[in-house]
DNA sequence: TCCGTTTTTGAATGATTGCTCAAATTCAAC
DNA sequence: GTTGAATTTGAGCAATCATTCAAAAACGGA
């Protein structure tokens, strides 16, 4: 067995996430990818197949990180709804960090970028977003059973509402706007979601 | 004075709005623009300068339409907050129409697409979004004075919240999702905003 | 040290990008 | 008709796009 792989696959994918997150799928050229990952075309194509393949793997890394972040917030919170609010605050800290490649979500950026002549990518991001919706719906169904939600609240509708809140928060945060305004917005979103929770939101 | 302009500028801009709205700025190639507007490169560049110039004019047409739509909703409503809710419902009807080029907002699509090496475009969309924020803030300041808002609600924060709601609504609607779910989401957003209004939301 | 396999390199591919401009066309004025 | 200015045309520009592949380099095993 000769020659060990010089380039760490994980390190390369981290760089890819950063570049795609900052510039989007179409906005990141292979030349820029070569620079960011410090790899030559031959190695890139041998390792990831093509630009699509690299993007898919980078997207998987990105969504995995986001899931972990939400999971951690839920673990350290006494109730599900408080876990959601804790996650929103944690997310706000993350995206307003000075070294964040972008504040908007990479999945949403791709959703808004991709057209009907890229059906594979389109289906991929739709699948990811549907998975998040399903996960949230399960969470809120448990929250409902535990009396955390007002009577009559549908868990799946609340799931889509919360997903739209995250999309809106992160898209607005992509504006040229100061960090305090983003944090205020997060608190206002939590307040607004209080219309669906049994007990008034704490903050 | 010879030769009258064959191509109707307004008609061309309408086609440009449709194409850019569907495919985004970078996703619409000049070849596709030539087809959609039925114009040859020479006419295009003579009329609009370059791709940037065409996009700027198309964006102005788009934002003008959106402003009109909100203005109409506010006119036909007895209070400001009801006008906002009427607008949200009207917007939902518009974007779920089968011939809509996209459900997501063209300005937000551009905001998430544009990078730091396109500072003019970046500034342009930020300016437009700031204008909407300012307009909403004035509206909500009036609403506050007329007792439509709960005590302590800041008009500018509410303006950014509502803008983020619209961004979230339209971004989620861009998912492969049925019309009824979008309409339900709109109602849930209105319910959520009820946390800031003096009288409970009607629907 | 040499071998054999794998990885890396980077020049080159054809297609597409936004854009230019000389030539052809069109129409009002006469 | 003829003229003359404005508009339209479309071939063609250099640059960039994603991608390929033969050659060079790198390294474990002998």
Q: Within 7 A of a protein CB, which nucleotides of strand C?
A: 4-12, 16-23, 25-29
What does the pLDDT read at residue B6? 41
Whole-angstrom distance, CA of residue A25 vs CA of residue B85:
35
β-partners of residue A149 are A197
β-partners of residue B86 are none
Q: Which nucleotide is nearest to B1 (CA to C1')?
A: C28
Mean pLDDT of all residues in B39-68: 97
Q: Is the pLDDT of residue B199 over 80?
A: no
- A with B: how many residue pairs have Cβ under 8 Å apart? 132
**Running DSSP on this structure, what letter comes out for residue A175?**
S
**Running DSSP on this structure, what letter comes out for residue A201?**
P
- For A8, the 3-state DSSP assignment is coil
Q: Within 7 A of a protein CB, which nucleotides of strand D?
A: 4-12, 16-23, 25-29
What does the pLDDT read at residue A3? 44
**Running DSSP on this structure, what letter comes out for residue A197?**
B
Closest CA to B125 of B190, B39, B60, B74: B60
Mean pLDDT of all residues in B91-98: 98
What does the pLDDT read at residue B1? 39
Whole-angstrom distance, CA of residue B30 vs CA of residue B44:
9
What does the pLDDT read at residue A201? 56
Q: Which two tokens stand for residue B132?
A: 């909407």
Each residue's pLDDT tens digit, B8-29: 899 999 999 999 999 999 999 9
What does the pLDDT read at residue B5? 54
Q: What angle do CA A31, A108, A14 make, to 5 degrees?
A: 45
Band the pLDDT of B134: cuts 50, 70, 90: very high
Q: How far is the CA of A110 from the C1' of C20 (A)?
A: 34
Whole-angstrom distance, CA of residue B13 vs CA of residue B60:
10
Contact (CB<8Å) B22/A115: yes
Q: CB neighbours of B79 closer than 8 A, spacing ≥ 6? A: B143, B146, B148
* Chain B neighbors of A163, CB-CB under 8 A: 172
Whole-angstrom distance, CA of residue A75 vs CA of residue A73:
6
| B163 and B82 Cβ atoms separated by less than 8 Å | no
CA–CA distance from A79 to each of A52, A126, A144, A167, B167 (Å)? 40, 29, 11, 23, 28
Mean pLDDT of all residues in B117-138: 97
Q: How far is the CA of A5 from the C1' of C1 (A)?
A: 24
* Chain B neighbors of A168, CB-CB under 8 A: 164-169, 171
Contact (CB<8Å) B27/A23: no
Find the length of chain B.
Answer: 203
Q: Which two tokens stand for residue A27?
A: 């906005």
What does the pLDDT read at residue B2? 42
Closest CA to B63 of B8, B122, B14, B106: B106
* Chain B neighbors of A174, CB-CB under 8 A: 111-112
Residue pointed to by tokens 């709804």: A81
The domains found in chain B, sorted by start residue, are 52-196 (1.10.357.10)
What does the pLDDT read at residue A8? 83
Query: A interface toward B at CB cutoff 8 Å?
Result: 22-24, 26-27, 104, 108-109, 111-113, 115, 122, 126, 129-130, 157-158, 160-161, 163-169, 171-172, 174-177, 181, 184-185, 188-189, 191-196
Whole-angstrom distance, CA of residue A83 vs CA of residue A74:
4
Q: Which nucleotide is nearest to A40 (CA to C1')?
A: C9
Residue A176: Cβ within 10 Å count? 12
Q: How far is the CA of A39 from the C1' of C11 (A)?
A: 16
pLDDT 10s per residue in chain A (203 long)? 344 554 489 999 999 999 999 999 999 999 999 999 999 999 999 999 999 999 999 999 999 999 999 999 999 999 999 999 999 999 999 999 999 999 999 999 999 999 999 999 999 999 999 999 999 999 999 999 999 999 999 999 999 999 999 999 999 999 999 999 999 999 999 999 999 999 765 54
Whole-angstrom distance, CA of residue A76 vs CA of residue A102:
26
β-partners of residue A108 are none
Whether A43 sits with its Cβ under 7 A from any strand C atom: the answer reads: yes
Secondary structure of chain B as H, E, C letters: CCCCCCCCHHHHHHHHHHHHHHHCCCCCCHHHHHHHHCCCHHHHHHHHCCHHHHHHHHHHHHHHHHHHHHHHHHHCCCCHHHHHHHHHHHHHHHHHCCCCCCCCCHHHHHHHHCCCCCHHHHHHHHHHHHHHHHHHHHHHHHHHHCCCECCCCCHHHHHHHHHHHHHHHHHHHCCCCCHHHHHHHHHHHHHHHHHHECCCCCC
Q: CB neighbours of B143 closer than 8 A, spacing ≥ 6? A: B79, B80, B81, B149, B155
Whole-angstrom distance, CA of residue B62 vs CA of residue B124:
13
Q: Which two tokens stand for residue B82?
A: 């009801």
Q: CB neighbours of B119 closer than 8 A, spacing ≥ 6? A: none
Which one is predicted more confidently, B160 or B201?
B160
Each residue's pLDDT tens digit, A7-53: 489 999 999 999 999 999 999 999 999 999 999 999 999 999 999 99
What does the pLDDT read at residue B201? 55
β-partners of residue B149 are B197
Contact (CB<8Å) A185/B112: no
> What is the radius of gyration, based on Cα positions, of chain A?
19
């Amino acid at each position: 067995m000769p020659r060990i792989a010089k380039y760490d696959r994980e390190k390369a994918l981290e760089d890819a996430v950063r570049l795609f997150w900052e510039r989007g799928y179409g906005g990141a050229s292979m030349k820029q990818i070569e620079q960011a990952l410090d790899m030559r075309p031959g190695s890139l194509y041998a390792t990831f197949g093509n630009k699509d393949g690299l993007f898919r793997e980078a997207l998987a890394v990105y969504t995995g990180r986001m899931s972990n972040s939400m999971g951690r917030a839920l673990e350290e919170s006494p109730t599900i709804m408080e876990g959601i609010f804790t996650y929103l605050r944690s997310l706000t800290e993350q995206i307003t960090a000075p070294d964040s490649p972008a504040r908007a979500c990479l999945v949403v950026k791709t959703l808004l970028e991709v057209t009907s002549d890229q059906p594979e990518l389109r289906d991929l991001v739709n699948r990811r977003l549907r998975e998040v919706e399903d996960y949230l719906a399960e969470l809120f169904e448990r929250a409902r059973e535990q009396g955390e939600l007002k009577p009559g609240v549908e868990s799946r509708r609340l799931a889509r509402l919360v997903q739209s809140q995250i999309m809106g928060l992160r898209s607005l945060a992509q504006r040229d706007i100061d960090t305090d305004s983003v944090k205020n917005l997060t608190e206002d979103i939590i307040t607004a979601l209080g219309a669906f929770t049994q007990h008034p939101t704490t903050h």
